[in-house]
């Protein structure tokens, strides 16, 4: 076989792999859509109907239900009479308590809702595997790491974000309430990737031909995925905290807010969850910036040049550092620290989308 024929064959193979990758990404979107509807079914069919509340009240040792404390329930048992106290709703987890058992979950404690939730998780696993296969096929088609442009970054980012969610589930963490929000944003991310950000398979510019591509960009993707999970937890914390404050003040939230928010973990648990997530990944984000500086010195002969991408990466680092510091300061715990966390994640989002699309610089080769 001549060199020209071998080159032609290799090109045809790469184009075929790229087509396979595109097909797998679209297929994963279809499965994510099914998972999205299954998560919706979990929330809808898991609502605490009057029948469900009555059944829960008659269960031995009664589970926490979404009603105010009422009179005791009397039932006949083995010729005698047993009295079950109607359980109270747990709306605030006390200091030092575990952050897992204080919310019935999206299924609302309902068996049918739980079934839909399990189906949704199974579909999420399937979609994750299909999307991961699409990312691998894309890598094979370009014969490099699949994050050389915004399209590749998007599909890899969403894959890693789902992977983080599934890893938390595998560790038996109470995070299934994340499923609906996760699949919604993943579908938006992939929709943006295959329409606006799509870039055909191509080779990288010379500056990106470095092993630092595998180190720096991979850690940036992982950090972004974990920051995203933390941001969702922080946003839900703000809603749940407002709900709890209204209930504690004697107010009566609307039926929709009650149906949704009472199924989530207590606000203290959501706050703790978000803090742990952000604190755990912050050292890796620090390493990401350091690795980028080392790569910049290798590619451009300087460690730091205040390029827009570098500047916003540093701003993001400062914002998360401020959040972690505020979280450890008594007067800035709770909602004030949560606002800083959301601002920090907003900086991360702008660093990726805003800088790449609207701001020029040495990182412009990673644009659309």
Task: List average pLDDT for each run of 10 residues in the chain, which is 368 residues long.
Answer: 62 80 95 96 73 44 41 46 45 44 74 91 97 93 83 92 94 90 94 88 70 86 94 93 87 84 88 93 94 83 81 93 86 86 94 79 52
C-alpha distances out from residue 77 to 52, 58, 60, 74, 331, Å: 20, 11, 11, 10, 53
Length of the chain: 368
Helix crossing, 179-195 with 111-142: angle to 10°?
30
The token pair that represents 48 in the structure block: 């605490």
pLDDT of amino acid 122 = 96
| Apex 359 CA angle, 350 and 227, nearest 5 | 20
Whether the CB-CB separation of 17 and 144 falls below 8 Å is answered with: no
Task: Tell me phi and psi for residue 101, to 5 degrees.
Answer: -90, 20
pLDDT of amino acid 327 = 86
Among the residues of the chain, which ranges form H helices? 3-45, 50-57, 111-142, 150-170, 179-195, 212, 218-248, 255-261, 267-300, 308-327, 335-349, 355-358
The token pair that represents 37 in the structure block: 């509807």
292: closest CA among 283, 282, 302, 279?
302
The token pair that represents 70 in the structure block: 């009422």
The token pair that represents 18 in the structure block: 């790229």
Q: Going along 62-127, which residue ranges are E strands? A: 73-77, 80-84
Q: How many CB atoms lie within 10 A of CB 344?
A: 25
Residues in CB range of 158: below 8 A, 6 or more apart? 131, 186, 189, 190, 193
Cα separation, 11 vs 13, whole angstroms: 5
Q: Three-class SS of residue 213?
A: helix
Whether the CB-CB separation of 323 and 279 falls below 8 Å is answered with: no
* Residue 178 per-residue DSSP state: G
- Rg of the chain over Cα atoms, rounded to whole angstroms, equals 24
pLDDT of amino acid 262 = 86
pLDDT of amino acid 332 = 78
Whether the CB-CB separation of 267 and 337 falls below 8 Å is answered with: no
């Amino acid at each position: 076989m001549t060199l020209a024929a071998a080159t032609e064959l290799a090109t045809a193979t790469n184009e075929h792999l790229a087509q396979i990758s595109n097909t797998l990404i679209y297929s994963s979107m279809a499965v994510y859509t099914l998972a999205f509807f299954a998560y919706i079914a979990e929330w809808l069919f898991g609502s605490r109907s009057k029948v469900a509340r009555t059944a829960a009240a008659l269960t031995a040792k009664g589970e926490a239900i979404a009603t105010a404390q009422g009179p005791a329930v009397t039932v006949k048992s083995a010729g005698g009479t047993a009295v079950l106290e109607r359980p109270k709703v747990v709306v605030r987890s006390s200091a030092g308590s575990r952050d897992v058992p204080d919310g019935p979950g999206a299924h609302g404690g309902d068996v049918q809702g739980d079934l839909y939730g399990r189906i949704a998780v199974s579909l999420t696993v399937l979609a994750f595997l299909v999307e991961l296969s699409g990312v691998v096929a894309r890598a094979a088609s370009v014969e490099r790491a699949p994050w050389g442009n915004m399209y590749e970054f998007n599909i890899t980012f969403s894959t890693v974000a789902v992977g983080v969610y599934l890893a938390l589930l595998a560790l038996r963490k109470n995070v299934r309430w994340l499923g609906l929000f996760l699949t919604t944003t993943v579908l938006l991310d992939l929709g943006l990737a295959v329409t606006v950000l799509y870039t055909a398979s191509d080779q990288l510019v010379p500056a990106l031909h470095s092993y630092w591509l595998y180190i720096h960009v991979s850690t940036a993707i992982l950090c972004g995925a974990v920051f995203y999970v933390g941001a969702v937890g922080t946003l839900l914390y703000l809603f749940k905290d407002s709900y709890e404050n209204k209930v504690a003040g004697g107010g009566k939230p609307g039926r929709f807010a009650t149906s949704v928010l009472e199924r989530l973990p207590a606000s203290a648990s959501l706050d703790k969850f978000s803090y742990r997530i952000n604190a755990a990944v912050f050292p890796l984000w620090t390493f990401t910036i350091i690795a980028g500086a080392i790569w910049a010195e290798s590619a451009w002969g300087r460690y730091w040049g205040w390029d827009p991408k570098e500047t916003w990466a540093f701003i993001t680092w400062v914002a998360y550092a401020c959040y972690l510091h505020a979280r450890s300061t008594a007067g800035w715990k709770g909602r004030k620290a949560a606002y800083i966390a959301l601002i920090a994640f907003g900086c991360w989002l702008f660093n990726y989308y805003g800088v790449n699309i609207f701001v020029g610089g040495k990182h412009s080769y990673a644009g659309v």
